[in-house]
Copies of this chain bind each other. A is one copy, B any other.
Amino acid sequence: MSRRADQTRYHVDGDLVPREAATVSVDDRGFRYGDAAFETMRAYGGEVFEWDRHAARIERTCEALGMPDAVPEDLPVRVAETLDANDLRDAAVEVSVTRGVQPGSLTPREAVDPTVVVRVRALPRGGLDGEAVWDGPAVVQSVRTRRVPDAALPADARTHNCLNGILARLELRRARTDSHRPDEALLRDVHGNVAEGATSNVFFVEAGTLRTPEPGDLRPGVTREVVLDLADGESFPVETGRYDLDDVRDADEAFLTGSTWEIRPVESVDGIAVGGGPVTALLRRLYDERVEARCY
C-alpha cells in the first residue's frame, strides 16, 4: 500500500490524525526514556474484549510509574472514535499513555501532562466463526536473555521499555535453519525458571493438569487470567508453580496466550515436538464462545 493510499487514522493527544501526521515530540519522555504505559487489546465486532481488565492494568501501570492520574477519563471514547474513524470492528487496539514532554533530566516532575496515543490495525473476525491471526502452531525456542526481574521493573506493568523481549526475539535469528523456524522466544527468570514468551504467557498440560508459571517475574497477561477463569469454570485441575525447560518440553500439550494471539498451540519447544491436544482445543473453544457471547 502506498503512503498516499494509507487512510489509517490514529488518536494523538485528543485528536484523530492521519497516520503520517501522528507524531510525538523528541522531548516526550515516552520517546526519550520509554517512560509510558502501554496496553494492547483486541476489539471484536467493535467491542474491546475484557476492557475492564485492560483498563485496570493500564491504571496499575500508571500508578507504578508514579503518574496515577495520567489515564484520561474519556479513554474508552477515544478508543471507540479511533475504531470508527478507521471503519474497523475487528482490530488490535494499542494505547500509550506517556509522561509527556518535560525538560531536562531523568527525574520526573510531579506535574504530568500525559501524551495519549491510540493506534488500531485490522484483524480477522474472532469468535466461533473467526480465524486465527497466526499461520500455525508456535515454534518455540528458549533463549539466553533472562526476564527482567520484578525487583528491577514491576512485572505487572506494561510499558514502552520492551528491549528485553526484543533481544529475546533477536536471538531467534541465530537459531533459525531451513527446518527450524522459531517464532516465539521462551524466557527464563534469572534463577532459570520458565517465565514467559516475549509477548505471551505459557501454559502446558501434564498428566491431565493445566500448568503455568506462577506470578513473580512474569507478566500476568489478561488472556492468561481469562484462561484460568475458563479452566476454573470447567473444574480442570490447575497448578501454578516453578518449572524448568524440561517440564515444558516433556509436556503432553502446550500453548501460548496473548490478547492478539488468543490461545495458540505450541508445535515444539527447542525442536522437541509438544503439540496441542484436547485441553488446548477445549479452552480455545471456550475462549471463542466467550468472545462470541460478549462482543458479537
Please tell me if the beta carbons of B190 and A152 are within 8 angstroms of each other in the complex.
yes
Please tell me if the beta carbons of A117 and B26 are within 8 angstroms of each other in the complex.
yes
Please tell me if the beta carbons of A160 and B32 are within 8 angstroms of each other in the complex.
yes
Q: Which residues on A are within 8 Å of B, measured CB to CB? A: 10, 12, 19-20, 22-28, 30-35, 38, 64-66, 96, 104-108, 110, 117, 119, 121, 144-149, 151-154, 159-167, 169-170, 172-173, 183, 190, 198-199
The contact of A34 among B105, B108, B163, by CB within 8 Å, is B163
The contact of A173 among B65, B66, B161, by CB within 8 Å, is B66
A96 to B169, CA, bound (A): 22
Given the complex, which residues of B lie within 8 Å of A64, measured CB to CB? 167
- Oligomeric state, in copies: 2
Please tell me if the beta carbons of B22 and A10 are within 8 angstroms of each other in the complex.
no
Please tell me if the beta carbons of A33 and B106 are within 8 angstroms of each other in the complex.
no
Please tell me if the beta carbons of B33 and A30 are within 8 angstroms of each other in the complex.
no
Given the complex, which residues of B lie within 8 Å of A35, measured CB to CB? 162-163, 166
The contact of A190 among B20, B164, B190, B199, by CB within 8 Å, is B190
Given contact pairs A31-B24, A33-B162, A198-B106, A66 touches B170 in the complex (Cβ within 8 A)? yes
Nearest B-chain residue to A160, judged by Cβ: B34
The contact of A161 among B146, B154, B161, by CB within 8 Å, is B161
Nearest B-chain residue to A19, judged by Cβ: B27
A199 to B106, CA, bound (A): 8
Please tell me if the beta carbons of B161 and A151 are within 8 angstroms of each other in the complex.
no
A31 to B164, CA, bound (A): 15
Please tell me if the beta carbons of A152 and B152 are within 8 angstroms of each other in the complex.
yes
Nearest B-chain residue to A10, judged by Cβ: B26
Nearest B-chain residue to A28, judged by Cβ: B31
A227 to B214, CA, bound (A): 45
Please tell me if the beta carbons of A96 and B190 are within 8 angstroms of each other in the complex.
no
Given contact pairs A24-B31, A26-B117, A162-B35, A167 touches B190 in the complex (Cβ within 8 A)? no
A165 to B161, CA, bound (A): 12
A180 to B177, CA, bound (A): 58
Please tell me if the beta carbons of A169 and B22 are within 8 angstroms of each other in the complex.
no
Given the complex, which residues of B lie within 8 Å of A164, measured CB to CB? 152-153, 161
A151 to B27, CA, bound (A): 30
Please tell me if the beta carbons of A12 and B33 are within 8 angstroms of each other in the complex.
no
Q: List 6 A-B contacts (CB under 8 A).
A: A20-B25, A26-B96, A66-B170, A149-B190, A154-B167, A190-B190
Given the complex, which residues of B lie within 8 Å of A169, measured CB to CB? 106-108
CB distance from A122 to the nearest CB of B (A): 12
Please tell me if the beta carbons of B26 and A166 are within 8 angstroms of each other in the complex.
no
A19 to B148, CA, bound (A): 34
Please tell me if the beta carbons of A153 and B148 are within 8 angstroms of each other in the complex.
yes
A64 to B117, CA, bound (A): 29
A32 to B147, CA, bound (A): 19
A161 to B164, CA, bound (A): 9
The contact of A145 among B146, B152, B198, by CB within 8 Å, is B152
